[in-house]
Amino acid sequence: MNKQSTTCMVPQSHFQAGNVDFDAIKQKQRAVWSSGDYAIIGATLQIVGETLAEALDLRAGEAVLDVAAGNGNASLAAARRFARVTSTDYVPQLLEKGAVRAKAEGFDIRFQDEDAEALSFPDGAFDAVMSTFGAMFAPNQVQVARELMRVVRKGGRIGMANWTPEGFLGELLRLIAGYVPPPPGTQSPLLWGTEPKIVELFGSQAADIQCVRRYFQFRYLSAGHWIDVFTRYYGPLHKACAALEQDRRVQLLADIEALLSRMNVGGPDSLVVPGEYLEVVIAKH
């Protein structure tokens, strides 16, 4: 797949959040991401963290914050470039998995329980802030953007990898939402995978915004293998299957199998599904 790059123009308007109980939503989300074992899925996405670290042009010695880090893909990528890394998430089990990985590779990474909407760090504390498929799921999108921008220094960078609405994960998440609807009043996390939303959230404080569409290849033995792994370990699908009656669960999995088969480019003997995501690099004024 070819990548497409765009330079986002900077407007002045911002989205205003409505009257939504974000704390209650986050409690439910924490339960979702604590279910299964996302670290099994997350580790397969390591290449995305490496690619983002290069896009951010991370330098040795820089202070880097990984927000909604999961089990630490971007954190490890930054540490491999000799940055001083703080890895954060609101699911302690995932931070523990990240700490095991860091210890195994000999990296000195600080792991800290943090809410992406209310980071405890001072203004301008970091040279660069990263998030791979993490911060995009926080319910208060405006507040998350404010926090990411607040904790990065003037002239610093923010880097994100966000699933797009048009890509495989976009279709998968919409499919799941058709069976288990999201909380009312919330905006789709897939908006983070669109250039206009990125500009809307960050534009007024950005000197430059670069958006590049990239692809992560989901590589599995078959559609059945993918379904087995994701129903066991991927929180949103794991929880959805647990919440559904058997006939609805069977139908959901049949729909997912059809989606996988339609998007498979690996031929009849394997599964290779391109997952489009938006790589975002923001330079702060």
H helix or E strand, kind and range, residue 127: strand 126-132
> What tokens does 184 get?
């009312």
Q: Considering only the C-alpha atoms of the chain, give the largest distance between any 2 of them, rounded to a whole number of Å.
A: 54
Query: What parts of the chain have a pLDDT lower than 50?
Result: 1-4, 8-17
> What tokens does 93 get?
């089990």
CA 186/CA 13 separation, integer angstroms: 19
Residue 181: strand, helix, or coil? coil
pTM of the model as a whole: 0.92
pLDDT tens per residue across span 128-161: 999 999 999 999 999 999 999 999 999 999 999 9
The pLDDT mean for the chain works out to 93
Domains in the chain: ranges and CATH: 8-13+21-219+274-284 (3.40.50.150)
Of 93, 96, 102, nearest in space to 73 by CA: 102
- Which pLDDT score, from 0 to 100, does residue 183 have? 83
Bridge-based pairing state of the strands 110-113 and 84-89: parallel
